[in-house]
Amino acid sequence: IRQAFRLEWLTVGWMILEAGMALGSGLAAHSLTLTAFGVDSVIELVSASVLIWRLNVELRHGRQVSESAELVAGKIGGALLFLLAAYIVIGAAWRLWTHQGEAFSIPGLIVALAAMPIMTWLARRKIAVATQLGSRAMRADAVESITCGWLSLVVVVGLLANLVFGEWWVDAVTALAIVWFVIKEAREAWNGEDCCADHSH
């Protein structure tokens, strides 16, 4: 249990940094991709905080109480992610319609590059601890970390494409690529699914 708490507090610490840098650089560069990445980080920060709370509840009151609390939290997180997906689609469509682009962001690239190995490491550790504890919530959280790792890869590709080609439409197209990951994460949170097996192939 102590190791689970340590991993979740590490996740919270990194998500605060990731969300701050992604949102700050996204707004400065008028980048829909980075802004969406930052909002997703905020939602994952809330998710990690809920898991810390849930582990505390489980220790004090048992698993049944904590699971019902997690179900409610999952519905809220899922709804927020669905709203984020809608925001990305509408924003990307508007940018494609009006031919609006973004400025290249070095801080955004740095945080997205850093997120890939960090989230991969956190996901592997969480899966190992979840297996030891038999914790479905911890495994679900590991899936979110895996998704964040893939999401950051998409952001990196988009930023590098923008740097190399300098085309106005790159940000909108990259943002639309993020939608798939956001919707997948939203469905898993809403349904309370444990989908680690899907990522192990």
Q: If you search the block for the tokens 């969300």, which residue do you land on?
A: 19
Nearest to 115 by CA among 44, 176, 31: 44
Residues 6+ away with beta carbon under 8 Å from 180: none
CA separation, residue 132 to residues 121, 129, 137, 163 (Å): 17, 5, 13, 44
Q: How far apart are CA 171 and CA 136, in angstroms?
A: 36
If one counts every other C-beta atom within 10 angstroms of the C-beta of residue 41, the result is 25
Instruction: Return the domain boundaries, the chain.
Output: 2-199
Query: Could you read off the pLDDT tens digit of each residue along the chain, which spans 201 residues?
Result: 778 888 989 999 999 999 999 999 999 988 888 998 999 899 888 888 888 887 777 777 666 666 676 677 677 777 888 988 898 899 889 888 988 777 788 999 999 999 999 999 999 998 898 888 777 777 777 877 888 888 898 889 888 988 888 888 888 888 888 888 888 878 877 886 554 444 443
Selected from 3.40.50, 1.20.1510, 3.20.20, 1.10.3470, the CATH number assigned to the domain covering 2-199 reads 1.20.1510
Phi-psi region of 62 (alpha: psi -120 to 50; beta: other; left: phi over 0): left
